[in-house]
Chain A
Amino acid sequence: MNSPLLLAAAGEVGSDFFKERSSDTLPCQAKPNEVFCFDWARENIDRFGTPTVQHLELVLISLLLGFAVAFALSLLAHRRKWLQPPLLGATGVLYTIPSIAFFFLLLPVTGIGKDTAIIALAAYTLQIIYRNTMLGLDNVPSSAKEAARGMGYTDRQILWRVELPLATPEIIAGLRIAVVSTIAIATLAVFIGGGGLGTQIYGGGNLTFPTSIFIALAIVLLMALLFDLVLLTVQRLTTPWRKARQT
């Protein structure tokens, strides 16, 4: 099934990958297209350290940036309702443009490197976070707001002490979707020279080989799972009344 061209390409990258090792022969070296080569994995697992850290950096910075902007936009749109349709449309456009295209649309402005990747990834998360935050704020029962007003709360106090706490589950639900998708999409940062785990899938202008791809894939999935669990825990801790209601 494999085209000769692809085999040749994989062979090339494979040999390049093995060059750094000592000269003893590995059983896998002869067959770089083997599904999973444990010998190579054992010997080379440390080469995934730096890409993993880079990947984390890409995800965390773009998510913080995306959250800050989307949260500010949500509060703005919450106060000025007429802003809601245009903001939904604008973030929708940013969401729809494929990230890899976004990287290269930014190329003339921000150049090659991780900054470009971070901006594009942050732009992608805006719609997800904005939408969920608005949903959360809209779902706050008006009785709760009226009760707060009756207790003498100002608009600002109602927002920070009543509306936002009650909207927390939706806001965190949005963050969970955003973080899991961003971890997956950040692999594409390799195309704009942004580093990350994508470098272990596609390196030096060619696809690497299955063992390396599988390890990168496993790290990406594990990272997504961990972040999801952390956010789920945060959600539980910040909304204790939900648990009380359930039991």
Chain B
Amino acid sequence: MTGSLPLSSLGGAIEFIFSEQTSNVTGGQKVGGFEQAMELTLNQLEVTVLALALALVVALPLGLYLGHKGKGEFILVGLANGGRAIPELAVIALVAALIGVGLVTVAPALAILGIPPILTNAYVGVRQVDRATVDAARGMGMSELEIIRKVELPLAVPTVMGGIRGATIAIVATATIAPLAGVETLGDFIINASIYGDDGRLAGAILVAVLALTLEGLLALLQRRLTSDGLKVKTA
């Protein structure tokens, strides 16, 4: 593989994505092709969205609430730093070995990676909101819940979305090794080189990279859409 020209490898990988071929390693088995590539891409997207949703449900309300109350900063800073230190491979491996394989265990395991960035960014985003603005809202007779929903959250959108984007990148990246725990994602092409060969591995890498960049791009667009025009003027 080192001897072959990069460009010819790229050609092989692209061919692998678009047309089914006979595996030259196991012999006879049909691998690759657009259908399988799409199926694995959708599987990876499925487990990513599921894990992200779980992380959001747990971390977003908690982060907003703690930010509103101004409590728990010490724990959140520790959680953010500690969260970065957790090796994804070990988490997936332990879940597979001790709890079980499949979507039901992998999605929560991936969600663990998404919780620290969402939680801390929601907290920081809300804390950054000018206290005078919050007092003004309170003076207008808003309830605490209304203040969070109508004042703090809209003003914190850029930071909150930053956390969600970080979580998404971490989750979609780790979903690549989900085949180790019985969830067939694009990582299958990468990990099972004995079946898919070098073309398959490069094809898997290309598809994973495209998927991650696409998700990041879509979230950046969503962030722009959700950010109020007033905030854009201020930062411009």
Contacts and interface: CB of A to CB of B under 8 A. Distances in A.
Given A184-B84, A213-B93, A100 B190 contact: yes
A105 interface: yes
B108 interface: no
A168 interface: no
Interface string B115-131: 00000000000000000
A169 to B, nearest CB: 15
Contacts, number: 148
Given A100-B176, A107-B202, A228-B81, A6 B90 contact: no
A215 B191 CA distance: 23
B15 interface: no
Most buried by A among B81, B99, B205: B205
Contact of B206 (A105, A110, A220): A105
A96 B213 contact: yes
Nearest to B182: A3
A207 interface: yes
B101 interface: yes
Contact of B208 (A95, A100, A185): A100
B145 interface: no
B49 interface: no
Given A105-B205, A108-B10, A188-B177, A33 B98 contact: yes
A125 B93 CA distance: 25
A35 interface: yes
Given A3-B100, A96-B169, A207 B81 contact: no
A104 B205 contact: yes
A164 interface: no
A22 B84 CA distance: 39
Contacts of A109: 6
B133 to A, nearest CB: 24
A164 B187 CA distance: 42
A132 interface: no
Interface residues of B, number: 46
Given A107-B1, A107-B198, A213 B176 contact: no
A205 B9 CA distance: 23
B100 A1 contact: yes
B172 interface: yes
B46 interface: no
Most buried by B among A33, A180, A228: A180
**A-side interface size class:** 35 or more
B202 A100 contact: no
A202 interface: yes
A181 B86 CA distance: 8
Given A98-B173, A184-B85, A217-B90, A103 B97 contact: no
Contacts of B5: 108
B235 interface: no
Contacts of B90: 187, 201, 213, 216-217, 220
A6 B208 contact: no
10 contacts: A1-B100, A96-B213, A98-B174, A102-B209, A187-B89, A188-B88, A188-B89, A197-B87, A202-B93, A207-B96
Given A207-B180, A221-B85, 10 more contacts: A1-B99, A33-B97, A100-B173, A100-B190, A104-B204, A105-B206, A177-B84, A184-B85, A188-B177, A220-B87
Interface of A: 1-3, 6, 10, 33, 35, 92-93, 95-105, 107-112, 177, 180-181, 183-185, 187-188, 190-191, 197-198, 201-202, 205, 207-210, 213-214, 216-217, 220-221, 224-225, 228
**5 nearest CB pairs, A to B:** A98-B173, A104-B205, A1-B100, A108-B9, A111-B2
